[in-house]
Amino acid sequence: MTPEPLAPWHALFAPLPDDAVVKRRPVLPPESAAIAGWEQLTVELSDACKGMRHLLVVLDEKGRAISASDHVMYRAELSGDVVFFQETVGGRLEADGTFRGTRWRTLGLDSPRDEEAKLDSSPSPPTEAEAQALKGLVAEIVKRSIIAAP
């Protein structure tokens, strides 16, 4: 049983709310010459302790998006059990416009009847529609980061 997302923005590839804030930070560690000048753009959305969504875009030293991910997590209490769900699509944005990545779905159940939480996690390739949706989110995040820049 999978709990339903909490809010319209709380699903993979969902449009960002108008008030979503893009944070711009250097990729760490700065002493690594291989990534000098790279930046990360992040959007973090949460619904109290019930769920969150984290989007990440990495820009190279020329400002080109080279990787991205969209990650949602949420939990629900059902009949004394805690059900938690995580879904992620992430990977590399190639210079030729293609996307090379993985989709992960993880479903967990933490029950007082069991010694350990049960966890089922499975990878799969993202569909072309999902790759296009992630690229659309990347474009929106980059656009918002430029508009918000001082």
What residues are paired with 78 via a beta bridge? 81
Q: Give tens-digit pLDDT for 129-142.
A: 999 999 999 999 99
SS3 content of the chain, % helix, strand, coil (to 5): 15, 45, 40
Of 43, 54, 60, residue with least CA distance to 143: 43
Q: What is the pLDDT of residue 1?
A: 46
**Residue 124 confidence (pLDDT):** 95
Could you tell me the residue ranges of all domains in the chain?
23-148
Which tops the pLDDT comparison, 79 or 60?
Answer: 60
Question: Position 64: which residue type?
Answer: R
Are the C-beta atoms of residues 2 and 107 closer than 8 Å to each other?
yes
Report the pLDDT averaged over residues 79-105: 91
Average pLDDT over residues 95-111: 91
Q: What is the pTM of this model?
A: 0.83
Which tens digits make up the pLDDT trace of 18-39? Answer: 989 999 988 765 566 566 778 8
Note whether 59 and 38 are within 8 A (CB).
yes
Q: Is the pLDDT of residue 100 over 60?
A: yes
